[in-house]
Chains A and B, each alone.
Chain A
């Protein structure tokens, strides 16, 4: 096929390519460089090959952090997705209350991550926090700085508070696209509430739900700021997730080589999972388009 397509448009993309090169490609290459070298500062590098990667793959410290991370993401998804759907289903469909709900739902999403961390850090403190004092007052022994379980609960509740809105809003948008005729037909068919959800609402939400799951997975898998502010990864290492561990390793201990190898593997895991999600999503779209 010989076509005389105008190629000038590519020049317009150039600034973006340059920007991406500086903001992503060059830093990434630096990390790759660190991951295969040993350095003691002063820009002196000694070739280390795959040593750091081997060390990281077999490191029990990384395994533990990965285990905690997977558990955290799994819990987050298991709570936020159903809860988000439930909230979306029960939000008013139109009018003043719908707008109000939307604004309220959007609020947590607008708060900067470290502020969210700070809010909950103070909120949960036993000495001055409303939650901590309140729980103590009714006789519940709660202290997220001492007790690993309490710390986990705090971090999870905080994330649910912060991010469930996103799932809910996405589902809400999906629900809004369902024509009224479907609900009417279901009423006429005397479908149960469950059947309406299973056969009308869920199929229509499928697309946005996958996006929601993908976003929540990626975000929770990379979570850093909020638990760092609240627990600092403690007590002990109990809430040290991958990125917190990574920062400890790179900045705290200045183990740049292992940290670099660590981040590359971390990056690849996220890329892989996202790719799987993307493939599933596009295949579903295709099936729907037929």
Chain B
């Protein structure tokens, strides 16, 4: 019981949109497609839905080859970034429309609409027209229309991108709940790492038409398979510094070094790329192993309880997220501290050579 892509690729006019991809989405799972704009999220969704035919490879649904099957014959529903509803119909008729097209009996339609509306908190608005609703309610209506027909595959293409920040937050909490109630395969495209984390489930990281990693969301976040995945799945962006392993020591940049312990001890000597996330940067020596980097401060951004510090370390630009409010003068020298347990090492090809020690513990 699953949706399976085997070697599916798509090129249009000699331009590769999706490189050959293998992906199996299990029944009843939430799957996030995470990647920047034009990484191939929408292209991949269109292939899954059957809106596009793959240039190569095959698509299986519950073991059955559905590669050339029309969208109408598949049990697929899709929700877009724009709020797409029938403007002339009431919310009730909007939600009922897919069932009416399927020619279901009146009583069943009524029951299904009521149930779905209840789940999406649309019951008081059933008689209104979509354009009389707020953006969040319009998108709920579109979601209801997608869910009501009991599709086995629900595709959500950045459904919250056009909503206000706070509304997004509210719907984000609800979507996992709705998904659990539906039992369908959900595929959710987003550009925001935080959204992927909040939705949980599985995440497929996309970059330039390739799935760089697919797995349980927290694992992809904490054990990224390569530097690209780590970069895509970090907000603020991951910080990088060149690293040279020499016997028992790791040399970061030109000046800082730390003992190579744990997984780092077994690595062969040579050049690596060290990566660490903003929230692991501290302004004081917070652990015995923490090493000090002397940086120049760019700007600081205060969020109320925390401060983003933008740093220049030699040729590298870093961002740190530290607790408390620190209004420091731009251009001043600051020392930051980093525990090597929070450092990922990537080899010259960008693959993960050694995960951060903290992530293995978690």
Contacts and interface: CB of A to CB of B under 8 A. Distances in A.
B70 A1 contact: no
B87 interface: no
B29 interface: no
Contacts of B69: 4
Contacts of B67: 3-4
B53 interface: yes
B53 A6 contact: no
A5 interface: yes
A282 to B, nearest CB: 14
Nearest to B65: A4
Contacts of B55: 1
Nearest to A1: B55
A203 to B, nearest CB: 24
B56 A6 contact: no
A3 B55 CA distance: 9
B-side interface size class: under 10
A-side interface size class: under 10
Contacts, number: 12
Interface of B: 53, 55-56, 67-70
B230 to A, nearest CB: 31
B54 to A, nearest CB: 9
B55 to A, nearest CB: 6
A111 to B, nearest CB: 33
A6 B68 CA distance: 9
Interface string A2-41: 0111100000000000000000000000000000000000
A8 B53 CA distance: 18
A285 to B, nearest CB: 14
A3 B70 contact: no
Contacts of B70: 6
Contacts of A3: 53, 67-68
A282 B67 CA distance: 32
**Which among B56, B68, B70 has the highest number of chain A CB atoms within 10 Å?**
B68
Contacts of B53: 1, 3, 5
A289 to B, nearest CB: 12
A183 to B, nearest CB: 24
